[in-house]
Amino acid sequence: MKNIAISIYIIISFMSIQPLFAQDINQAWSHILKKEFDSSEIVFRSILENNPKDVRCIVGLSYLLEMRHRNAESWNVYKQIMKTDIDPVPYLYSIWLTPRFSTQMHDKKSGVQEVLKQLSQTGDKPGSLRAMAMEMLGSVETRNGNIKAATQYYDRINALSSYSIIGPFEHISASGFGLAYPPEELYDTTDVYEGKNGAPASWFHPPMIKRDYWLDFQSYFPDRQAIFYANTFVWSPKNMTVQVRVGTSGSLKLFLNDAEILRDSNETNNDFDTYIVRTDLVAGWNRLLLKVGYSEIDRCNFLMRITDEEGNAVPGLKHTAYAQQYAKQKPTRIEFIPNPIIAQLQRIIELHPDWIEHYLVLADAYLRNDRAIEAEQLLKRALNISQDNPIILWKFIDTYARGRKKDEVNTTYELLSSMSKDIPDGIIYKFNQYLDNEDYDRAEDMVNRIEQLLPKSETAFTLRIRYYDKKKMQDKVISTTREARKQFPLSWTYTELAAAFDFQTTRKRDTMISLYSKYLKQVYGEAPLLSLAKAYLEDSKVKEWQKTFDELLTLSPSSPGFHYQMANVFTQLEQYDKAEKEMLTALKFCPSCNTYWSKLGEIYRSKKDIQSSIKAYEKALAYSPTDYDARAILRELQGKKSIFTVFGETNLDSIIQSSPQAKDHPEASAVIVSDKVKRVIYDHGASEAVTESLIRVLNEKGIDFFKEYRIGYNGNSQDLIIEKAVTIKADGKEIRADISRNMAVFKGLEPNDFVYIKYKIRNYNTGKLARHVWDEYYFNRYFPVTHAEYAMIIPDGLQFTTSQQEMDVSPLVQELPEIHSTLYSWKVNREPGIVYEADMPSLPEIGKVLRFTTIPNWSFLVEWYAELAQSKAQTSYEIQEAVKVLIPNPEKISEPEKIRRVFQFITDNIRYSSVSFRQSAFIPQKARDVLVNKIGDCKDVSTLGIAMLRELGINAHYVLVNSGNEERLLNLLPSIAFNHCIIAVEESGKQRPLFLDLTASNFPTGAMPSADRNAFSLLIRPGNTQPLLLPDKQYSAPTFVSRASIEFTDDGMMIQGAEKITGALTAKYRAAYKGKNSAEQKKLLQSSLASDIPSARVSDMGVFGVDSLANHITLLYRYEAPNTVAEAGTYKIVRIPWRNDLPSEDALSYEKRTYPIKHLYDVDTTFEEISMLIPKGYELAEVPQSIHLSHAAAEYDYSVLANEKEGFSILTVTRRFIKKKTFIESSEYQSFKDFYAKAVREDRRQLLLKKKE
């Protein structure tokens, strides 16, 4: 009832002030629409002179001034709301984070602090703004250096402060939100659980939290993309109804006495009391558990309060982090309370839908809690009312930025910059653009423009400094910086720059220290304290450095990183006792940080306390098994050599001396003399491998192949360390290779030199894969191999599986009891090189391969990827809107048509891109982000497809694909060796899903691109336990049907025909003809004909079906082919102009083959029919016999029929070729070669016409 009363009061107040100046306000907005900002300001101010309480005018003028970067003036206008007759709370709430408010907060003359103090006393009915004012006043006092006064303000927030916390738990790709980890089931501080990546997780009490009572999980845990829990117990003297209020950065679940009372899976950075739930505490102890997760945003924290209805502390409550007995029961009352302030603003717009300025106020209210979608929808409504309104468009920039819509942000900037030369943000955007493009004249024009609009402003100084810096005008940079600092002495940026420039000039830090010290007297904070401490340390003033860091810890007592920094310095100073003390303090805050444990181990090692050092490093490895440096140090402390010495050393000199020469392999361009992989697998799945290769290049071809050596590794989950890469000359001299990331360029190579490379790859698998390892090794290559070896050390008891392809080598087994492991090694000697044959299968299909995995089965991988990707395919406002536009009447459209439209929408509108900075190897982008940014790779477009189809009630699933590899690899061991992703759509009434490759632009819906046909794949669907082969074809196979007629001319032919192309084959035609005009299409056809008939001239043509994704395309044509009929006396020799005759194949050029032929022909069925009107006076010299050729791999038919019709002789020639299978085995090679040669001969048969006698 109170909220209703407030709304009614606001509405009545507005009604009393509205009519008089409405026309003048409309005039002000009219000027804005015309981009006459000065005129609009004059009108607004004129209205306020007559009526200082006109809220609409106050708000409108304030937004105009803020858009123009006149923030101080904007606030001076806006604060007049406090003197009006309406409740100012909604208006203050909405601008809390805007520049007009935040930039004036620390200026005592601005009046912001007075407003905050007023709010802290009277506040708002719900009490949220009152608490926020306390926080802001605390930050003001902190900046003033009054920590005690700041603490008093923070204490008045009345937030809970005593917690025990636990984590991290797995949350990769937001997968942990829906999982119930053990802390949700039971609170037991003695239990140790399996946390993220298998690391131990247990409850602990943080020594303290931030002064403002926000509990920042990043201070207590080193992990990102994680779930964390915080637990507290609240004692209530009686059964009572309270409000539990929470603000977070991250997703949230809240439990009261083990019953869920609140949830939000969206990860947002929001503020106080974002979530309010009215519920019941029972008399005695109550358990409150928060679950907070983040995987997409960069912060993870929360603040929780228990209040009455007006946001006040509830008398009699107390809380503790320590375990208490509580009653496990669901509260009788769980009522979520929407934000009452936002509700007030929504009500105003409902009553006055034409009040543009209030749309802006409400949009800011949404944005302060990252509710970008609601803000975007609201502003679009406003833009419909006031089209092309520059202030609304300007507000869209912040909205789109918070919604992570980069393209829309840039487009809006461009629109603003073209709309008016008086909008600072548009000018700054163009300045950045010109500066990046080194268009200095235009960049300076933009600086000049800002200096005209905002003379002597921070913005103007900053742009001018950046301009001079880009042009390397150092003297101008220094002088402008000094002038800027004089104008803005409280700017840390200018102070820091001025200090740096002074040091560059004098090489002394006295002035720098003085500048920092003076600044801290005015603006107290972490950044200047850190800079001052660094300056003291670099000036060898250790006592002053330590004193400054003590101040930092007083300012930010819950920051273990400061203790870590101090420990580093003390270690360098060899003050190990002090370093130890700092690290032990840091570990109280963050006991699961492996970096801290490693640092402590280093300190103990320096103190010669070996046993303590060993324990510290063991702790580091417990929390991070992939801390490989800690492993190496630990072995050293234990008096052991590197684990890799267990494999034995490689005697490189001996190998070089006995290596083969060119005469030993006259057929080869190089020899792989030695190739060894030594893999170590540790407990908990960490694994690293050293590869050592020695290659002898025998001639120039070998040099060209090996001079640039690229090492394959996964940058998302592996580290590469190239330990050595050299060219070894005949005399033993070594020349170091040039190394860039994973590429080694070997210099000075000559025939018979050696290439030697040794590198280490370390695995950093995460999530469910953290404890698993998989690998494959090829014992033969396209070069002779003298010695190949794969060896691995694996912990006893770790289950693993191996398989061998085209080989049967028993491993040598050596037990290693001292490390509870076993060494396995497989060796092959004198392996001849694989001789390349055209169209042979790939090396993974025909090579001698050892495969290895610890992954138990394919079901494990199905579950792994389902968890990884499940949250990414969720729907969103943008997806819902896109589907509505695409299919406005879904009830009237069939399911296949819905699928087709979604397929075409994605393949037409989303650009394919696989760029490492955007995508990880397996985690897709969110479907909404793919749609918004209109770019993505295979897994990204698959995610969008799944989301859009679900919006239509159609289920679809991911399919991981190893494209290009098929049935011969069906028995692969479980691993994630996939390189592509498509989807499987569940069609109503069909058992087998429809597979769609959403990267297959120009393909008909359901057509299988060649790389997908028969490909090895894994369907990510619950219950699936085995991989499968994708179908060779689905709706329609790739076929080519052509029918043509020929009329003979004096020296050639006039040909008219029609072709029908179906299935995947249509993609090639669409790629060529789509979007072209008739002249361009005709030119393309002419070009394709010219390869066989150089004299061809196309007179007419039409192509149909290229602009849609129909299953077939029709091509109609008419062309003249002069000089194509040869004459020999009384004979005419006619070559039949087939459109798709069989070509000569390199794959069939060998006397015999070792390997099968794969994918020789990409058309399943080709049928052509040509009818010829034989010239008068001529007849066919001989009617060829019909031919039928059959083979296990294909069939071929050829026939010629002669008919008489109305006195004319008509000749009909047909040919048909049918592909029956993908592989032609080597045992079938000769028979198929003979078959194909006969078919080609028939295709090329010429007809002989003779004159009638």
Q: Share the mean pLDDT of the chain.
A: 94
**What is the pLDDT, as a whole number, of residue 920?**
60
Say yes or no to pLDDT of 364 above 60.
yes
Helix (H, G, I), strand (E, B) or coil at 331: coil
Please write the tens of the pLDDT for every residue from 1018-1037: 999 999 999 999 998 887 88
Distance CA 903, CA 1036 (A): 16
Sign of CA dihedral 105, 110, 114, 115: negative
164-170 and 226-236 beta bridge pairing:
antiparallel
- Contact indicator for 625, 615 with CB cutoff of 8 Å: no
Please write the tens of the pLDDT for every residue from 367-403: 999 999 999 999 999 999 999 999 999 999 999 999 9
- Contact indicator for 795, 854 with CB cutoff of 8 Å: no
In terms of Cα–Cα distance, which of 225, 121, 207, 242 is closest to 167?
225
Count Cβ atoms below 10 Å from residue 750 Cβ, excluding itself.
Answer: 12
Q: What is 643-854's CATH topology? A: Immunoglobulin-like (2.60.40)
Say yes or no to pLDDT of 1152 above 60.
yes
Please write the tens of the pLDDT for every residue from 946-999: 999 999 999 999 999 988 766 577 678 999 989 999 999 999 999 999 999 999
b/e map 365-402, b = 16+ CB within 10 Å = bbbbbbbbbbbbebbeebbeebeebbbbbbbbbbbbeb
The pLDDT-based confidence of 531 (bands split at 50, 70, 90) is very high
- DSSP code string of 1182-1204: --PPPEEEE-SSEEEEEEEEEEE
Please write the tens of the pLDDT for every residue from 1124-1135: 888 888 899 999
The pLDDT-based confidence of 16 (bands split at 50, 70, 90) is very low
The pLDDT-based confidence of 19 (bands split at 50, 70, 90) is very low
This prediction's pTM: 0.90
Please write the tens of the pLDDT for every residue from 748-760: 999 999 999 999 9
Residue for token pair 């801390």: 627
Say yes or no to pLDDT of 711 above 60.
yes
Instruction: Calculate what percentage of the chain has a pLDDT beyond 90.
Output: 87
- DSSP code string of 61-97: HHHHHHHTT-HHHHHHHHGGGGGSSS--HHHHHHTTT
The CATH architecture one would assign to domain 440-446+455-553+560-637 is: Alpha Horseshoe (1.25)
372 vs 1183, higher pLDDT: 372
The predicted model gives 713-741 an average pLDDT of: 95
The predicted model gives 219-229 an average pLDDT of: 95
Please write the tens of the pLDDT for every residue from 773-828: 999 999 999 999 999 999 999 999 999 999 999 999 999 999 999 999 999 999 99
**What is the pLDDT, as a whole number, of residue 7?**
44
Q: For residue 874, report the phi and psi dihedrals to the nearest 5 degrees.
A: -70, 150
- Contact indicator for 110, 71 with CB cutoff of 8 Å: no
First-residue to last-residue Cα distance in the chain: 113
Please write the tens of the pLDDT for every residue from 30-52: 999 999 999 999 999 999 999 99
The pLDDT-based confidence of 1205 (bands split at 50, 70, 90) is confident
H/E segment holding residue 694: strand 687-697
Q: For residue 697, report the phi and psi dihedrals to the nearest 5 degrees.
A: -90, 130
Residue for token pair 């860039």: 740
Please write the tens of the pLDDT for every residue from 1037-1062: 899 999 999 999 888 899 999 999 99
In terms of Cα–Cα distance, which of 1193, 880, 1183, 1216 is closest to 1042?
1216
DSSP conformation class of 1143? P
Distance CA 269, CA 826 (A): 54
Q: For residue 239, report the phi and psi dihedrals to the nearest 5 degrees.
A: -65, 130
Q: What is 160-337's CATH topology? A: Jelly Rolls (2.60.120)
Q: Which two tokens stand for residue 807?
A: 């080989």
Q: Which two tokens stand for residue 1105?
A: 């079906």
1097-1104 and 1053-1062 beta bridge pairing:
unpaired
**What is the pLDDT, as a whole number, of residue 20?**
43
**What is the pLDDT, as a whole number, of residue 915?**
54
Distance CA 698, CA 665 (A): 9
**The length of the chain, given as a count of residues:** 1253
Count Cβ atoms below 10 Å from residue 1050 Cβ, excluding itself.
Answer: 7
**What is the pLDDT, as a whole number, of residue 18?**
46
- Contact indicator for 61, 77 with CB cutoff of 8 Å: yes
Residue ranges of E strands in 257-351: 259-269, 275-281, 284-294, 301-307, 318-320, 334-336
**What is the pLDDT, as a whole number, of residue 189?**
94
Residue ranges of E strands in 270-317: 275-281, 284-294, 301-307
Largest CA-CA distance found in the chain, in angstroms, rounded: 124
Any residues with CB less than 8 A from the CB of 34 and at least 6 apart, and which?
A: none
Q: Average the pLDDT over each of 94-98, 211-215, 220-224, 969-973 and give the range with the smallest value.
A: 969-973
Distance CA 1094, CA 418 (A): 52
**What is the pLDDT, as a whole number, of residue 914?**
72
**What is the pLDDT, as a whole number, of residue 1011?**
87
The answer to whether the bond into 168 is cis (omega within 30° of 0) is: yes
H/E segment holding residue 958: strand 956-962
Any residues with CB less than 8 A from the CB of 17 and at least 6 apart, and which?
A: 51, 53, 54, 55, 85
DSSP conformation class of 991? S
Please write the tens of the pLDDT for every residue from 47-65: 999 999 999 999 999 999 9
H/E segment holding residue 477: helix 474-487
**What is the pLDDT, as a whole number, of residue 1036?**
83
1231 vs 915, higher pLDDT: 1231
- Contact indicator for 201, 167 with CB cutoff of 8 Å: yes
Say yes or no to pLDDT of 456 above 50.
yes
Distance CA 112, CA 102 (A): 9
- Give me the amino acid identity at 567: A
Please write the tens of the pLDDT for every residue from 407-441: 999 999 999 999 999 999 999 999 999 999 999 99
In terms of Cα–Cα distance, which of 465, 423, 479, 357 is closest to 70?
423
Helix (H, G, I), strand (E, B) or coil at 1077: coil
The predicted model gives 501-525 an average pLDDT of: 96
1053-1062 sheet: strands from edge to edge: 1097-1104, 1112-1121, 1053-1062, 1039-1048, 1165-1173, 1208-1219, 1194-1205, 1187-1190
The predicted model gives 136-145 an average pLDDT of: 97
Distance CA 1193, CA 1149 (A): 18
How distant, in Å, are the alpha carbons of 32, 145, 303, 554, 946 from that of 526?
A: 42, 11, 22, 11, 47
Residues paired with 696 in a beta bridge: 671, 754
> Is 937 exposed, middle or buried, given 0-12, 13-18 or 19+ CB atoms closer than 10 A?
buried
CATH 3.10.620.30 is the classification of domain 860-1029: yes
Sign of CA dihedral 60, 62, 65, 67: negative
Please write the tens of the pLDDT for every residue from 881-894: 999 999 999 999 99
How distant, in Å, are the alpha carbons of 1055, 1098, 1106 from that of 1079?
A: 19, 10, 16
> Is 707 exposed, middle or buried, given 0-12, 13-18 or 19+ CB atoms closer than 10 A?
middle
Distance CA 56, CA 136 (A): 27
Say yes or no to pLDDT of 174 above 50.
yes
**What is the pLDDT, as a whole number, of residue 952?**
97
**What is the pLDDT, as a whole number, of residue 11?**
43
670-681 and 785-795 beta bridge pairing:
parallel
Q: Is 1014 left (phi over 0), alpha (psi -120 to 50) or beta?
A: left
- Contact indicator for 838, 1158 with CB cutoff of 8 Å: no
